[in-house]
Amino acid sequence: MRYKSAKALSKSLIYLVLTLGAVTTILPFLWMILTSLKGGTEVILMPPRLFPSVWHFDNYSRAMEAAPLATYFVNTVVVTVTSTSLMLIVTTLAAFGFSRLKFPGRDVVFGILLATLMIPGEMLIITNFVTISRLGWMDTRAALIVPFMASVFYIYLLRQFFRKVPDTLYYAAKVDACSDWRYLWKVMVPINKQAMSTIAILNAIACWNAFLWPLMVTNSETKRVLSIGLVQFQTEAGTDYELLMAAASMLVLPIILMYLVMHKQIIKGVTQSGIKG
């Protein structure tokens, strides 16, 4: 009896701590969205009110009038989709080359590639900036996309998946005179589509949220992405917190929506790559 009540007590303590943690995690998101829907005077009300008395959905259109956020949004979508698609193609080809095919020096080259994982991207920014400007790519989409077309980490990860596909399948395909190219797209890719889509999602999230590099290489409105537009808006919006939160929501909400739909796959992908990597 005593044991049972002690157990119930520790159970309720667990729920209490977990709920407190969950509230702390979710509150900034909630406050961002709620602030983005309040009127200007209500935002600076003390004590604060949780829900807006009038729901100001027009804050979003006002924010988009104050800064070309709609253009930035479209730019971000275009860059994310293009970058992820190209990354996926380049990564798939390389993972196949490094797992299934043989060529002289393959393992040495792969070893060198893996070694590049130790390099912090922040270190490459200055010299890549020079390269991009030499190429005449300053303030172009190419500057945002091309340097990230090959992800060594994802090549490594996908190669692990490709290696799990039994060799017998490959030899059977060879007997049927199936070329390597066909085998890759007709056999390997369909078998590993789960892993590939996880890689695509994780890459798309990283691309959507990218900040330092886009800050350096874009400066015109037509090329700028939303994360950069947001920090600029921060200095322009000044004290209009409802507009600033509306702009922040435009960057965050699409990712939250995607996360709500695919959270299982995303969490599994991060755990697998996190623990193996």
Partner 1 sequence: MMRKRGLELGRWKGLLYVLPALVVVAVFTVYPLLRAFLMSFYTKYKFSTDTVLSYGINNYTYIFGDSVFQKALSNTFIYVLFVVPISIAISLVLAVMLNEKIRLRSFFQTVYFLPYVTSVVAMGIVFGWLFHSNYGLLNYFLGLFGIQPVQWLNRPSTALPALIIFSIWKSLAFNIIIFLAGLQTIGAHYYQAARVDSAGRWRQFSRITVPLLSPIIAYAFIIGLISSFKVYAEVYALFGGRAGPADSCITIVYYLYRQFYVNWNFGIASAAAVVLFLIILAFTVIQLRVAKRRVHY
Residues 53-82 that bind partner 1 (CB under 8 A): none
Q: Does 106 bind partner 1 (CB under 8 A)?
A: yes
Shortest Å distance, C-beta 164 to partner 1: 19
Stretch binding partner 1 (CB under 8 A), from 39-47, 60-68, 165-173, 190-198: 39-47
Q: Minimal CA–CA distance to 221: which of 71, 20, 45, 85?
A: 71
Number of residues that bind partner 1 (CB under 8 A): 90
Q: Considering beta carbons, is residue 172 or 256 the nearer one to partner 1? A: 256
- Contact window for partner 1 (CB under 8 A) among 52-60, 168-176, 191-199, 209-217: 209-217
Question: Site mask, partner 1, residues 186-205, x = CB under 8 A?
Answer: -------------------x
**Eight-state DSSP code of residue 185:** I
Given candidates 124, 165, 178, 189, which one binds partner 1 under the rule CB under 8 A?
Answer: 124
Question: Whose structure tokens read 């990283």?
Answer: 206
C-alpha span between 177 and 163 (Å, rounded): 21
Residue tagged 């009896």 (tokens): 1
Q: What residue spans of 67-192 are helical by DSSP H?
A: 69-99, 106-115, 121-134, 141-145, 152-164, 167-175, 180-183, 189-191
| 162 touches 132 (CB < 8 A) | no
- x/- track of binding to partner 1 for residues 245-274 (CB under 8 A): x--x--xx--xx--xx--x--xx--xx--x
Q: Among residue numbers 147 through 166, which ones bind partner 1 (CB under 8 A)? A: 147, 149-150, 152, 155
Q: How far is the CB of 262 from partner 1 (least distance, A)?
A: 10
Region near partner 1 per CB under 8 A, out of 16-24, 61-69, 167-175, 189-197 = 16-24
Q: Which residues neighbour 264 within 8 Å (Cβ) at sequence distance 6 or greater?
A: none
Judged by beta carbon, residue 118 or residue 177, the one nearer partner 1 is 118
CA–CA gap between residue 141 and residue 82 (Å, rounded) = 10
Shortest reach from residue 274's CB to partner 1, in Å: 5
Please tell me whether residue 194 adopts helix, strand or coil conformation: helix
Q: Which residue has the tokens 């080259």?
A: 109
Give the nearest distance from C-beta 147 to partner 1 in angstroms: 4
Q: If you count them, how many residues does the chain have?
A: 277
Contact status, residue 255 vs residue 209, Cβ threshold 8 Å: yes
Q: For residue 90, state whether it binds partner 1 (rule: CB under 8 A).
A: yes
* Token pair 């991060």 in the structure block, residue: 270
CB-nearer residue toward partner 1: 24 or 168 = 24
Q: What is the DSSP letter of 46?
A: S
CA atoms within 13 A on the CB side of 128: 17
Give yes or no for residue 118 binding partner 1 (CB under 8 A).
yes
Choose which of 88, 196, 230, 243 interacts with partner 1 (CB under 8 A): 230
Out of 108, 134, 167, 177, name the contact with partner 1 by CB under 8 A: 134
Minimum CB distance to partner 1, residue 166 (Å): 19
In the chain the first and final C-alpha atoms are separated, in Å, by 47
